[in-house]
Chain A
Amino acid sequence: MGLKVSKSRKIFNVFNYSFVGILSLTMVLPIIHILAKSFSSSSAVAEGKVIFWPVEFDLINYQYVFQDASIWRAFGITVLITVVGTLINLIATASLAYPLSRPEYKGRRIILLGVIFTMIFSAPLIPTYLVIKQLGMIDSLWALLIPNAISAFNFIVMRSFFQQIPASLIDAARIDGCNELGILTRIVLPYSKPVMATMTIFYGVYHWNSYQNALYFLNDPRLYPLQVKLREMIQSDDLSIDVETTISTEFMNSTEGIQMATIIIAIVPILLLYPLLQKHFVKGVMLGSLKE
């Protein structure tokens, strides 16, 4: 009996180890494939010779991308909105989460419910657009920064973290004559480094990847962030439609290499930071799953 069980266990283990292995390969290999294509010559890409290793190694795709002022511009705007936007997010979220984490704040329950309600019943697009338009933010980068200043989810995570800070610590600071702003900046925030790091990741990745708000609120191509620019590049030469177009395949596929290079440039910052991020984001998700 014991032998039989361990045999089926062995079969399961072989299946299990290979299945999760193959699954994670499906996540790594496409990126390696794109990387290989971005470093290959146009003709090798066109003939479908490139799989996981560059064929006829060539830097021409990257040269093209680095020469294209509009890509640089989009890159710069993405860096700008990621840095400024994340800063605004952190300040706005903390300055609402801290007061609402204090028992001295009367009426916090109703405000909290008001925030949670926005998670279930989200603000509709068209009226939101009209409000942003009324505020004169259309075609300005403010439209990417202010209307998403606080994520309700992140707010709840941060607030529940602040709540765990011992009240005695805050009382002691008050007795020492520290004002509320001082308590927040000198005691609460240093104590909350883990949650602030997680929030930085969540907000930072959000801004780096943000696409739809720019699409909704910006008409001026000079303000487009990298994701919108990238989408335009992919769309203008949709790889799926190329069989039906009459443009020569060589031209089509030379742009494919450029797209791949741009995708790589858009991924690299996240992949470089990924090992650092990983330490924090699991904790962040766990914090978020705590119920009020």
Chain B
Amino acid sequence: MNPLPTETVAKVNTKKRKNWAHIKKYKALYLMSIPGILYFFIFKYVPMAGSIIAFQDYNIFAGFIDSSWVGFKHFIAMFDNPDIFNIIRNTFIISFYDIIFNFPASIILALLLNELRVVLYKRIIQTVVYMPHFLSWVIISGLFMTILSPSNGIVNNLIESLGFNPIYFFGSEEYTRPILIGSGIWQSIGWGTIIYLAALSGINPELYEAAKVDGANRWQQTIKITLPSLLPTITILFLLQIGQFLDFGFERVYTFLNPLNGGTGHIIDTYIYEVGLQNAQYSLTTAMGLFKSLIGLFLLFIANFLSRKATGNSLY
């Protein structure tokens, strides 16, 4: 490297000294932030780096450094094993259904709530629909099992009283996905409306007045004014959702599974827990986790790009 001209060295030195003086002056601020930075480093970034075990045959005694490198062996094994392939397919299908049904549900409910004119009624409904968000998945799954029980569940009592045979909801694979998606909507539909309702209340009422003068009915007003006004909010939330595409939530699925209905319900996260953690298949399941994260990141980039082109809204 060429030696730097002396002036530049002097400049750099004074800059350094200035920086140092600045840090010294506000050292309390920097000190205060150290535990938080360490937290993110140790519990988020070290594990991310630890993902390299996906390319190793990780040996718990040898550790990250000394375990043997095996390249893409575990990624190849993932797609060669029909069971694992089935798990990956499940994850995609369930996530896809969740976006199709769950994401629009909150938007529709927000639009409906926005049309309620009786303030007290609106407030009561809102209070109630937010509530399931605060219940744990263990409780929600227990609740669904109770209601859908084949012997004395309230839903099957109703089905029987109408003259049909009771349905064994939790005992057959064909109902796993509808139950997962349905319970997801039940839990989050109300909570999801909060941001949309705020966006709706921010729409300039003059727009509606003008539309009325032009002879637009309520439906036309919704299509021409309300939805376009919500579009930026919808886009941002949709992008966030896409980023989490395969992060379906371990608890949300695991609490609903039993030996009878797991075939269509097991997802990557539940597989990582059962096979990775409980049976110590560390490298293989880390490869699956890495695959899942990369797909999520990839979809986010694509969706963000498309959204920026189409609507001008993007996350970054």
Contact = CB atoms under 8 A, between A and B. Distances in A.
Interface of A: 5, 9, 12-13, 16-17, 19-21, 23-24, 26-28, 30-31, 33-34, 37, 45-48, 51, 92-93, 95-96, 98-100, 102, 104-106, 111, 114-115, 118, 120-131, 146-147, 149-150, 155, 179-181, 184, 205, 208-212, 215-216, 227-228, 230-231, 234-235, 238-244, 249, 253, 256, 259-260, 263, 266-267, 270-271, 274, 277-278, 281-282, 285-286, 289
A26 B153 CA distance: 15
B56 to A, nearest CB: 11
Interface of B: 19, 22-23, 26, 28-30, 32-33, 35-37, 39-40, 42-51, 53, 60, 109, 112-113, 115-116, 118, 121, 124-125, 127-132, 134-139, 141-143, 145-154, 157, 168-171, 186, 189-191, 194-195, 198, 217-218, 243, 247, 250-251, 254-255, 258-261, 269, 272-273, 276-277, 282, 285-286, 289-290, 293, 296-297, 300
Given A27-B128, A238-B145, 6 more contacts: A12-B115, A27-B129, A121-B297, A126-B289, A240-B260, A259-B142
Nearest to A215: B273
A253 B152 contact: yes
A253 B260 CA distance: 20
A222 B255 CA distance: 21
A242 B151 contact: yes
A267 B132 CA distance: 11
B236 to A, nearest CB: 8
A46 B139 CA distance: 20
Given A48-B151, A111-B37, A231-B255, A289 B32 contact: no
- Of the candidates B36, B130, B141, B146, the one having the most CB atoms from chain A within 10 angstroms of its own CB is B36
Contacts of B131: 27, 271, 274
B36 A278 contact: no
B130 to A, nearest CB: 7
Contacts of B49: 127
Nearest to A253: B152
Contacts of A105: 26, 29-30, 33
Contact of B273 (A5, A181, A209, A216): A216
A95 B194 contact: no
Contacts of A46: 152
A259 B131 CA distance: 21
Contact of B47 (A12, A37, A128): A128
A151 B53 CA distance: 26
A233 to B, nearest CB: 9
Contact of B171 (A33, A128, A243): A243
B37 A239 contact: no
A212 B251 CA distance: 6
A99 B47 CA distance: 25
Given A20-B112, A114-B40, A234-B142, A240 B169 contact: yes
A240 B127 CA distance: 31
Contact of B282 (A130, A131, A181, A249): A130
Contact of A239 (B146, B190, B293): B146
Given A51-B154, A263-B139, A128 B53 contact: no
A120 B300 contact: yes
B135 A24 contact: no
B137 A24 contact: no
A133 B43 CA distance: 12
Nearest to A106: B22
A255 B117 CA distance: 46
